[in-house]
Structure 1
Amino acid sequence: MAGSFYRVECPDCENEQIVFGKAATTVNCAVCGHQLAQPTGGEAILEGEVTETVEAR
């Protein structure tokens, strides 16, 4: 697989959201707007706690 998906917990509101590990754009929390992932050209920098690696479906 070219990349993984991660379940990330927002440090501000504890909302859990699924984020692609190689995100090409900034990913913000759907509830409070806190930045969860910052693109780097490769693996994204994840701001919250990774609670789970989501399996390929």
Structure 2
Amino acid sequence: MSGRFYRVTCPDCENEQIIYGKAATEVACAVCGHVLARPTGGKAVIEGEVTETVERRAEHA
């Protein structure tokens, strides 16, 4: 997968949520509904504070 996932803090309620950096639809905060990411056709415009880039989990055999 070519995109990355980010942990974003909502500017309104400070909820932390993990979102995809190339979101194809608007991503709203699960708590207050504030839009955290808007699609652009490529990388999404992230409207909250990015606090971390989430790394891929190790696959278990």
Give the TM interval when normalised to the shorter protein. over 0.9
SS at match of 2:24: coil
Deviation per CA, 1:14-34, whole angstroms, max 9, x where unpaired? 000000000000000000000
Residue of structure 1 equivalent to 2:44: 44
Residue of structure 1 equivalent to 2:16: 16
Residue 30 in 1 paired to residue 30 in 2? Answer: yes
Deviation per CA, 1:1-57, whole angstroms, max 9, x where unpaired? 410000000000000000000000000000000000000000000000000000011
Q: Give TM-score, length-normalised by structure 2.
A: 0.91
* Unmatched tracts of structure 2, length 5 or more: none
Moved over 4 A (4+): none
Larger radius of gyration: 2
CA RMSD of aligned residues (A): 0.6
* Unmatched tracts of structure 1, length 5 or more: none
Q: Give TM-score, length-normalised by structure 1.
A: 0.97
How many matched pairs? 57
